[in-house]
A and B are shown apart, each in its own frame.
Chain A
Amino acid sequence: MKAFLLILLLSQLVYGEDEFMTFSFINDSDEKRFYSLQKEVSCPLCEGSSIAGSNAPIAADIKNKIYTEILLGKSDEEILANLRDIFGEEVTYKPSFENNIFLWLFPLIFFLLIVFAARIFLKKNDKKV
């Protein structure tokens, strides 16, 4: 199995310079992951496009990286975290939780605030009646 993966990997390296590359996968779920991950990564060179929709050389490099990491058995989150380490936080469209805790918790805090405010408001109104 490992030898097979290695051969796949090497064959990819040999043909790495082809403009239209084909990526072969052992199973369908890996292939689906490969294409869905591409849509989550923005192309660092071309604004407003994911690497899926870009033919820039760097987009091809990132696709290759995602491909080899999928073959190495890395999880989606590991792959994206790795790309964020290299290209910075902006490379993934979805902000990471660790670096943006406030951003993710803001709706919850805001919701609680409204609930508490509403309770005070309603209580005051009750007294009036």
Chain B
Amino acid sequence: MKIYPLLTILLAISLFGLLFFQLFLNSDVQGFNQKSLAPFKSKLLNGDSFTSEELKNDSLSLLNVWATWCVGCRLEHSYLMELEKKGISIIGINYKDDKEKAFKWLDQFGDPYIKNIFDDQGEVGFMLGVSGAPETFLIKNGDSIVMHHVGVLDKEVWKNKFAPLIKK
């Protein structure tokens, strides 16, 4: 009966094969698994209504979660202004914030956003998997999330996590 040695070798090979397969599968630590963007409706800071359909106007857009209580948002604000000048369309999500404070902030520091979703209850944020602010999503064709960055968005982060996806 030579079946057991054969089986053992086969099992051992498949085991290591699987291990390596998993290893290469997870090699891209910085990577993000693309997710589809669930359609949603919300209101804007200026009182108008907003649907995620509007994101389809751009092949690429940024969704930036911010709030006036968020220190990191103040830090990344100047970089968002730079991105806006480069022609990148940024849609803000004003997260669990106060409307008046938000307007004051935009007056004072500049407004890099095309539109600003007013998410005072954090519902849109929750749906997107936001756990705080700042967070930034890269949306492709208005229906898929190709990057979700938690934390301050700066030049380094842009170069490493966002720019490679935009070139594709």
Contact = CB atoms under 8 A, between A and B. Distances in A.
A116 B126 contact: no
Interface string A112-125: 11001101100100
A89 B126 CA distance: 16
B96 A116 contact: no
A57 interface: yes
Given A45-B132, A102-B22, A120-B5, A57 B96 contact: yes
The binding surface of chain A is classed by DSSP as helix
Interface in A13-47: 16, 44-45
B7 A116 contact: yes
Interface string A61-76: 1000100000000000
Interface residues of A, number: 21
B8 A88 contact: no
Interface stretch (B11-19, B41-49, B78-86, B98-106): B11-19
B52 interface: no
Contacts of A120: 4-5, 8
A58 B132 CA distance: 7
Interface of B: 4-5, 7-8, 11-12, 14-15, 18, 22, 96, 121-122, 126-132
A-B pairs, top 5 by smallest CB distance, nearest first, are A44-B131, A116-B8, A58-B131, A86-B129, A45-B131
